[in-house]
Structure 1
Amino acid sequence: MKWPTIIGITIVVVLLTFYEWPKMDQHQKKEKKAFVTITAMGWLLAILLLFFPDLPGPTQMIDSLFSPLGKLLEK
C-alpha cells in the first residue's frame, strides 16, 4: 500500500509551492517556469523511486552515456 506515501509526497510538494510561490515576483515568468519544472521533476522522481527503488541514479546514466567517449579519448 503505497498510496499514503504518494499522498504525503504530494502534500509536501503542494506546501512547498504554496510557501515559495508568493515570494516570487509576478513578472518573473522564467523563474516560475523553472520552479514548476524542477518541482514536477522532483515529485516524479520521488514517485518513481517509491515504485522502483533499484532505479539507477543520474550519475550512472551519465556514466553510461559518456563511457564510450572516455574509451575513445584514452586511445
Structure 2
Amino acid sequence: MKWGAIVGISVIVALMVLYEWPKMDQKQMKEKAALLALSGVGFILAILLVFFPDMPGPTDLVNMIYKPFGQILEK
C-alpha cells in the first residue's frame, strides 16, 4: 500500500515539473532551480508523511520556537 502511494506521489511530482518546465525560458536558470528545489522538498515531505503519518507539522515547530516568547510577553 505504501509503495502505491510513493508511486502516485512520484508520478504527480513528475507531471507537475514536466508541465511547468517547458513554460520557462531557457535563460531562467534560477527559476528552474527553484522549481526543482521546491518540488524536491515537497516530494521528500510527502514521502516522509507516508511512512510517518504522526510526524509533527510546521506549525508545531513554530509553536515550539515562539512559545517561550509568548510566555514572557504574557507576564
**Percent of pairs identical after alignment?**
53
How many residues matched?
75
Unaligned runs of 5+ in 1: none
The TM-score normalised by the length of structure 1 is 0.89
- Alpha-carbon RMSD across the aligned residues, in angstroms, is 1.2
Residue 39 of structure 1 aligns with which residue?
39
Deviating 4+ runs (over 3 angstroms): none
Unaligned runs of 5+ in 2: none
- For residues 39-60 of structure 1, the C-alpha deviation after alignment (integer angstroms, 9 at most, x for no partner) is 1111111101101111111111
- The reply to whether residue 49 of structure 1 matches residue 49 of structure 2 is yes
The TM-score normalised by the length of structure 2 is 0.89
Question: 1:72: how far off?
Answer: 2.3
Which aligned pairs between 1:1-75 and structure 2 lie closer than 5 A? Answer: 1-75=1-75
